[in-house]
Amino acid sequence: MTPHVRPATTADLDALAPLFDAYRQFYEQPSDTELARGFLGTRLARSESVVLVAQLPGGALAGFCQLYPSFCSVLAQPIYTLYDLFVPPAHRQQGVAKALLAAAAERGRRDGMARLDLTTAHTNHTAQALYESMGWVQDRVFRTYNLDLAPTTATPPCA
């Protein structure tokens, strides 16, 4: 069963918010579906990100990824940062993540992006294996650092 991957719209928020909430919980954030809905709704309404959803034949959503537009100063070109990718356990090992990643790459090409970037937890070996099987290459030149500007809020690792 290969899902149909398409851009999300605000009409998807009721189905998408619980997935985004589960994604945040995966990264040890407290459950807050309203926060998830509001965050995604704002991104979609302002066209600040591209959210792709994997839709099953019956209409249910089986996963999503979110792309943020950015720039690479060295290349002097636009890029996408694939910050979020989530497939709930019931739909894993069925090609959903692979379909989302392929659609993200196609969307990036179509939008004229020079590349896609992503980060993942050092311990997320399953995701790393998938990325590498699809041609993603681990950066061995640059090291990523973060500066937490809200010391009372834990900063979760990226997808």
Cα 104 to Cα 52: distance, rounded to the nearest angstrom: 7
pLDDT at site 2:
81
The residue with tokens 């809905």 is 37
Q: What is the pLDDT of residues 111-133, one digit of tens each?
A: 999 999 999 989 999 999 999 99
Instruction: Specify whether the CB–CB gap between 44 and 51 falls below 8 A.
Output: yes
Q: What is the pLDDT of residues 22-58, one digit of tens each?
A: 999 999 999 999 999 999 999 999 999 999 999 999 9
Helix (H, G, I), strand (E, B) or coil at 124: coil
Instruction: Specify whether the CB–CB gap between 120 and 132 falls below 8 A.
Output: no
| Helix (H), strand (E) at residue 66 | strand 61-72
As a whole number, mean pLDDT of residues 134-139 equals 94
Structural domains in the chain plus CATH codes: 4-133 (3.40.630.30)
For the chain, percent helix, then strand, then coil, each to nearest 5?
Answer: 35, 20, 45
DSSP bridge pairs for 117: 81
**pTM score above 0.85:** yes
Instruction: Specify whether the CB–CB gap between 79 and 107 falls below 8 A.
Output: no
Residue 100: half-sphere exposure toward Cβ, Cα within 13 Å: 31
As a whole number, mean pLDDT of residues 139-157 equals 78
Residue 154 has pLDDT above 60, yes or no: no
